[in-house]
């Protein structure tokens, strides 16, 4: 993770792109890439989506889109001074309290 | 990263949520969380967005949203059998070829 | 449509919100609302999603989210000087050429 | 609006695409198109975004993306049996109550 963050930062700095990399702009870029990821799944049934990596061409595209999303998420977190893993683990602990195992089992109901 | 992936997976399995976690559904959940992240920045100027972590309340919300996005991205990658760091580094290398330092410096033009 | 556009414009002007309503900000707000719409469908099977309006509570939420999306899309088009219906019909004609009936029937393949 | 809805419906039916057009899938397609719209604005300053239609090439792209978004929103509303204009006006009335003119003037604070 730290290695990736430094690589993405070096990539941006070498191109003098820090000026474009405000949190606002990076959040938009992240959303744009997630939109491309959605497009890979939009017409698939859930079952087909579970097999998408068996399709060589689709699998390559999905991995590339996941890569794009991760690049922008990493860059956004870097610019905000947020540790991605820490943010995710902290949130996971909060969600675990809100959805206790006994009550949440097998249910997708929102709380 | 591996630790986070295992934690998220254990969280889902303990609640028997694997049935909901198709790539299609997880991509939608990821996009929903990115939408909440966008909402934090939508009315801010780029300059204000760069200071968002100095605002205690907004900073907490942004970190929580980043955490949510990372949780679903991690889970999606796990379900697809994709290594997030590898996907990002692979894509970064491709982008580096498409945007050579000399030509891309200081320009946001798309290629 | 014209009536709606004028109502949304009057709503914004009465609150002196034109200052926030740049195309960039409105596109983000639109995306944020679409994220909330996605959240209504993310854990549903396609079949369940087709029945969502039969569920009184979910139906009310979905209609409200569709309303939010339409409000921001209308406002964005107004600010850009774009006629929504014309933009959609123009694009539909282009897509009709790209996906001729004979070749596209029953296939979701992208072109 | 009714004309557009019927045109989009006829377009889909002629290609036998109703099978793909569940609300879940259409919401994803809508989000994918909104992602492409975001990409047009992500590196622009708010001021540049306000001038985007003066740029001939960007203006054409933005109108096309707005058209795509409107096509999927219209189709989604049709499939759900929701009147887009009614949904927007109903929601606008609710928001007007939540954000009274006197209190909301000039402020982007969320309620």
Tell me the per-residue pLDDT of C11-40, one tens digit each, with 9 for 90 and over: 999 999 999 999 999 999 999 999 999 999
Residue segments in chain B with a per-residue pLDDT below the cut of 70:
111
CB contact under 8 Å between B108 and D28, yes or no, is no
CB contact under 8 Å between C41 and D31, yes or no, is no
Q: Indicate the DSSP class of residue C53.
A: G
Q: pTM score, two decimals?
A: 0.97
> Which residues of chain D are within 8 Å of residue A42 when distances are taken between CB atoms?
25, 28-29, 32
Per-residue pLDDT of B48-79, as tens digits, reads 999 999 999 999 999 999 999 999 999 999 99
What percentage of chain A exceeds 90 in pLDDT? 91
- pLDDT bucket at C48, cuts 50 / 70 / 90: very high
* Residue A61, Cβ density class (10 Å: 0-12 exposed, 13-18 middle, ≥19 buried): middle
SS3 at position D82: coil
Per-residue pLDDT of A15-59, as tens digits, reads 999 999 999 999 999 999 999 999 999 999 999 999 999 999 999
Cα–Cα distance, C20 to C67 (Å, whole number): 20
pLDDT given for residue B23 in this prediction? 98
Two structure tokens written together for A15: 């191109």
- pLDDT bucket at C109, cuts 50 / 70 / 90: confident
- Return all residues near C85 (Cβ < 8 A) that are at least 6 apart: C1, D1, D3, D4, D70
Cα–Cα distance, C33 to B36 (Å, whole number): 9
Enumerate neighbours of C (3 or more CB pairs within 8 A). A, B, D
Cα–Cα distance, C37 to C58 (Å, whole number): 11
Is residue A15 a contact partner of residue B99, using CB atoms and an 8 Å limit? yes
- pLDDT bucket at D35, cuts 50 / 70 / 90: very high
What is the 3-state secondary structure of B77-95? HHHHCCCHHHHHHHHHHHH
**Residue A83 confidence (pLDDT) above 80:** yes
**Residue D81 confidence (pLDDT) above 90:** yes
Q: How far is D3 from chain B (nearest CA, A)?
A: 30
Q: How far is B104 from chain A (nearest CA, A)?
A: 6
CB contact under 8 Å between D20 and A43, yes or no, is yes
**Residue D31 confidence (pLDDT) above 90:** yes
For chain A, the domains span: 1-80
> Which residues of chain C are within 8 Å of residue A27 when distances are taken between CB atoms?
28
Two structure tokens written together for B110: 């798309």
Cα–Cα distance, B67 to C31 (Å, whole number): 19
User: D1-80 falls under which CATH superfamily?
Assistant: MazG-like (1.10.287.1080)
Q: How far is A55 from chain B (nearest CA, A)?
A: 12
pLDDT given for residue D110 in this prediction? 78
**Residue D80 confidence (pLDDT) above 80:** yes
- Return all residues near C4 (Cβ < 8 A) that are at least 6 apart: C70, C74, D85, D88, D89
Number of cross-chain residue pairs from A and C with Cβ atoms under 8 Å apart: 13
Buried b (16+ CB within 10 A) or exposed e, B70-106: bbbbbbbbbbbebbbbebbbebbeeeeeebeeeebee
């Amino acid at each position: 993770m730290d290695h990736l963050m430094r690589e993405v930062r070096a990539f941006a700095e070498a191109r003098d792109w820090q000026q474009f990399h405000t949190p606002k702009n990076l959040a938009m870029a992240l959303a744009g890439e997630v939109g491309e990821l959605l497009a890979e799944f939009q017409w698939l049934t859930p079952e087909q989506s579970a097999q998408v990596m068996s399709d060589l061409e689709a699998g390559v595209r999905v991995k590339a889109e996941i890569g794009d999303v991760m690049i922008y998420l990493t860059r956004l977190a870097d610019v905000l001074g947020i540790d991605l893993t820490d943010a995710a683990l902290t949130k996971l602990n909060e969600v675990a309290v809100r959805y206790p195992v006994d009550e949440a089992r097998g249910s997708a109901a929102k709380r």
